[in-house]
Chains A and B, each alone.
Chain A
């Protein structure tokens, strides 16, 4: 069974793009448009990776991340944003990865693979 990925972003275009691209990569993809719906989705099922936007209207990605670390600490979270400034927010350090939004999705896909199968991507000595 293919890994299930949750994409949380308030931008319609981003949600469609990520869903299309990740589905092409063979993942199951669920997309939601806010932090609150993301928390609800996580309470219902287990995800292999959560891709979390930060700047969202009802609940910020940082706030959602704090909740996720309590309710689902084992699920890897990638913070995905247009702002590099959030890297300096120590709460963002709770995330497993921080990837800047870009039309080039390769860095994001690479990071997803690393988190889903860390053994395979472990650095060779």
Chain B
């Protein structure tokens, strides 16, 4: 107990004779001092323990310090207690008297004064003194340990609620530098990079100057936050707190070797309370110089035997010495942090895996839709193939005989009819050719396709067949890869048909730019028609007519090509860009990343 207390005195005690010599031996063994005062308050006896406590110089001399002198040692407490005994004839007790002995040694005394009978039955007083300082020291140690435990508990609580690495690192730095925490002036965090065996400066917390320190610490002091509150406050905004001190170590790399103190500390997972001297190795000296300090604590952060980083802390602003106990506590904090960092890393890995699974599931779902569509396409393909075959034979026969008859002598009227039959048969055969192309394309496999390459091949194929009167076309390919997923034959057929229709329907003057580009996650093919301004409306109407299937001869072509584009999740239509040029566009979704499957580029 630190405060002085007065125990209630015994109300009635008789004056008893005491053998002081006999009593003092036993009290000496317990380290309890004994002083005896006569009725004149003169010291008449003291045991060895009392001599040591009070630092009486001449125990065996006649010099017996008067109680007034004793007041120099015990203040007024002793005389008051003695006086109480004398007056009341009962015991007087004082606990936790702070005092210094005659040599200035601080003491904490429990005092008990009792009446007794001296020689001649004179009423005297004996005082028992017990120095309880050691007990209080133990109490102080307990209190300190409790504080340390509280710091670690608060930090552990903050770490357990953090899964973000930045938050964890801020908790560590705050715990190390807060006055309510370990109270270092500055703390620096380095993360370990295993492949290069390097520590890399990552984050630091603390003032850069004494002026800033005064300002910051004053503000923090005024806030009167507990460590728990401070940690919570610092965690709430992860962008702040990365102060100018961080710049001091950003991109600072330290290659570890076993020759340096810092390297050995990391290798052996042992802390260092370092004072830079001439004997300090170059690497460690350079490290301290970079931090602009010469005394610092270094604690490796290790989890499951793996080095995660290094925490450095110093008292560069106040110059306060760094005790080994403080470094040990810093190490305890760093160990917790390392575990939290490991946990954050595992959490990140799990999160990444979870996202990957989610992505794969989405791809699977999309693939499933695609498969269903492809199966439908396949069934349609087989059906159209069978129908086409069945139709082609009778058409061949009818058309063939019509042509045969046209070679004979016929009335003009019959010849005209036969010409109509022959012409319609040819048209029907053309339609069947298109349907057969579609049917054949439906048998192909789905794969990633280089969309720009597909457009180029289709255009090359068309250029070989373009008549002179038809619109010249040139290609502008996207600079980035445009990979779409689907049936290459089907899409080639569809793109080719769109290009062919535009080339046939729009004749010179003018030209068409066939352009591929990436826009809003879509692979785009634009057929831009360059014509004089006054013809643009007419061009737009022509394109409109193509895609709305207004001409019967094109109806099947555009139907099949358009449905093919839609089956692949795409669309087509008329656009008018910033340059006001009318254009026909086809868009297809760009394929999301799929592992190890190169885009199909074959012809």
Residues of A within 8 A of B (CB): 11, 13-14, 16-17, 20-21, 24, 55, 82-85, 101-105
Q: Are B401 and A104 in contact (CB under 8 A)?
A: no
B404 within 8 A of partner (CB)? yes
Q: Are A11 and B397 in contact (CB under 8 A)?
A: yes
Bound Cα distance from A14 to B399, whole angstroms: 11
Known contacts: A21-B404, A84-B440. The answer to whether A102 contacts B429 by CB under 8 A is: yes
B426 within 8 A of partner (CB)? yes
A-B contacts, 23 of them at CB < 8 A, read A11-B397, A13-B393, A13-B394, A14-B397, A17-B397, A17-B401, A20-B401, A20-B404, A82-B396, A83-B385, A83-B389, A84-B436, A84-B440, A85-B439, A85-B440, A101-B396, A103-B397, A103-B399, A103-B422, A103-B425, A103-B429, A104-B426, A105-B403
B407-438 vs A, Cβ < 8 Å mask (1 yes, 0 no):
10000000000000010011001000000100
Of B396, B401, B402, which is within 8 A of A102 by CB?
A: B396
- Using CB atoms, name the residue of chain A closest to B443: A85
Q: Which residues of B contact A11 (CB under 8 A)?
A: 393, 397
B598 within 8 A of partner (CB)? no
Q: Which residues of B contact A24 (CB under 8 A)?
A: 404, 407
Of A82, A83, A105, which is within 8 A of B400 by CB?
A: A105
Q: Which 6 A-B pairs have the closest CB atoms?
A: A103-B399, A13-B397, A82-B392, A17-B400, A82-B389, A11-B393
Q: Which residues of B contact A103 (CB under 8 A)?
A: 395-400, 402-403, 422, 425-426, 429
Q: Which residues of A contact B443 (CB under 8 A)?
A: 85
B180 within 8 A of partner (CB)? no
Tell me how far the C-beta of B439 lies from the nearest C-beta in chain A, rounded to whole angstroms: 8
B477 within 8 A of partner (CB)? no
Known contacts: A11-B393, A17-B404, A82-B392. The answer to whether A104 contacts B399 by CB under 8 A is: yes
B44 within 8 A of partner (CB)? no
Bound Cα distance from A42 to B439, whole angstroms: 35
B162 within 8 A of partner (CB)? no
Tell me how far the C-beta of A102 lies from the nearest C-beta in chain B, rounded to whole angstroms: 6
Bound Cα distance from A100 to B211, whole angstroms: 94
Tell me how far the C-beta of B417 lies from the nearest C-beta in chain A, rounded to whole angstroms: 15
Tell me how far the C-beta of A73 lies from the nearest C-beta in chain B, rounded to whole angstroms: 29
Chain B positions 294-338 with a Cβ under 8 Å from a chain A Cβ: none
Q: Which residues of A contact B79 (CB under 8 A)?
A: none
Q: Which residues of B contact A104 (CB under 8 A)?
A: 399, 403, 426
- Given contacts A17-B404, A103-B398, list 20 more A-B pairs with CB under 8 A: A13-B398, A14-B396, A16-B397, A20-B401, A20-B404, A24-B407, A82-B393, A83-B389, A83-B436, A84-B436, A84-B440, A85-B440, A101-B396, A103-B395, A103-B396, A103-B399, A103-B403, A103-B426, A104-B426, A105-B400
Q: Which residues of B contact A83 (CB under 8 A)?
A: 385, 389, 436
B101 within 8 A of partner (CB)? no
Of A17, A20, A21, A101, which is within 8 A of B392 by CB?
A: A101
Tell me how far the C-beta of B358 lies from the nearest C-beta in chain A, rounded to whole angstroms: 41
Main secondary structure of the interface of A (DSSP, over half): loop
Q: Are B385 and A17 in contact (CB under 8 A)?
A: no
Tell me how far the C-beta of B527 lies from the nearest C-beta in chain A, rounded to whole angstroms: 27
Bound Cα distance from A14 to B402, whole angstroms: 13
Tell me how far the C-beta of A88 lies from the nearest C-beta in chain B, rounded to whole angstroms: 8
Q: Which residues of A contact B397 (CB under 8 A)?
A: 11, 13-14, 16-17, 103
Chain B positions 498-526 with a Cβ under 8 Å from a chain A Cβ: none
B150 within 8 A of partner (CB)? no
Bound Cα distance from A102 to B398, whole angstroms: 10
Tell me how far the C-beta of A21 lies from the nearest C-beta in chain B, rounded to whole angstroms: 6
B388 within 8 A of partner (CB)? yes
Bound Cα distance from A11 to B391, whole angstroms: 12
Known contacts: A55-B389, A103-B402. The answer to whether A17 contacts B396 by CB under 8 A is: yes
- Using CB atoms, name the residue of chain A closest to B439: A85
Known contacts: A13-B393, A85-B440, A103-B426. The answer to whether A21 contacts B385 by CB under 8 A is: no
Tell me how far the C-beta of B557 lies from the nearest C-beta in chain A, rounded to whole angstroms: 17
Bound Cα distance from A20 to B443, whole angstroms: 37
Bound Cα distance from A13 to B396, whole angstroms: 9
- Using CB atoms, name the residue of chain B closest to A83: B389
- Using CB atoms, name the residue of chain A closest to B400: A17
Tell me how far the C-beta of A83 lies from the nearest C-beta in chain B, rounded to whole angstroms: 6
Bound Cα distance from A101 to B389, whole angstroms: 10
Q: Which residues of A contact B398 (CB under 8 A)?
A: 13, 103
- Using CB atoms, name the residue of chain A closest to B391: A82
Q: Which of A85, A101, A105 has the most CB of B within 10 A?
A: A101
- Using CB atoms, name the residue of chain B closest to A9: B393
Q: Which of A11, A16, A55, A82 has the most CB of B within 10 A?
A: A82
Q: Which residues of A contact B439 (CB under 8 A)?
A: 85
Q: Are A82 and B425 in contact (CB under 8 A)?
A: no
Q: Which of A16, A55, A85 has the most CB of B within 10 A?
A: A85
- Using CB atoms, name the residue of chain B closest to A53: B393
Q: Which residues of A contact B407 (CB under 8 A)?
A: 24
Q: Which residues of A contact B393 (CB under 8 A)?
A: 11, 13-14, 82, 101
Bound Cα distance from A92 to B395, whole angstroms: 24
Tell me how far the C-beta of B143 lies from the nearest C-beta in chain A, rounded to whole angstroms: 90
B366-402 vs A, Cβ < 8 Å mask (1 yes, 0 no):
0000000000000000000100110011111111111
Tell me how far the C-beta of A92 lies from the nearest C-beta in chain B, rounded to whole angstroms: 14
Bound Cα distance from A55 to B398, whole angstroms: 20
Tell me how far the C-beta of A61 lies from the nearest C-beta in chain B, rounded to whole angstroms: 13
- Using CB atoms, name the residue of chain A closest to B440: A85
Q: Which residues of A contact B422 (CB under 8 A)?
A: 103
Tell me how far the C-beta of B224 lies from the nearest C-beta in chain A, rounded to whole angstroms: 85
Q: Which residues of A contact B389 (CB under 8 A)?
A: 55, 82-83
Bound Cα distance from A105 to B398, whole angstroms: 12
Q: Which residues of A contact B403 (CB under 8 A)?
A: 103-105
Q: Which residues of B contact A16 (CB under 8 A)?
A: 397
Tell me how far the C-beta of A79 lies from the nearest C-beta in chain B, rounded to whole angstroms: 14
Q: Which residues of A contact B399 (CB under 8 A)?
A: 102-104
Bound Cα distance from A14 to B401, whole angstroms: 10
Bound Cα distance from A20 to B385, whole angstroms: 29
Bound Cα distance from A12 to B179, whole angstroms: 105
Q: Which residues of A contact B395 (CB under 8 A)?
A: 103
- Using CB atoms, name the residue of chain B closest to A82: B392
Tell me how far the C-beta of A25 lies from the nearest C-beta in chain B, rounded to whole angstroms: 11
Tell me how far the C-beta of A1 lies from the nearest C-beta in chain B, rounded to whole angstroms: 25
Q: Which residues of B contact A20 (CB under 8 A)?
A: 401, 404
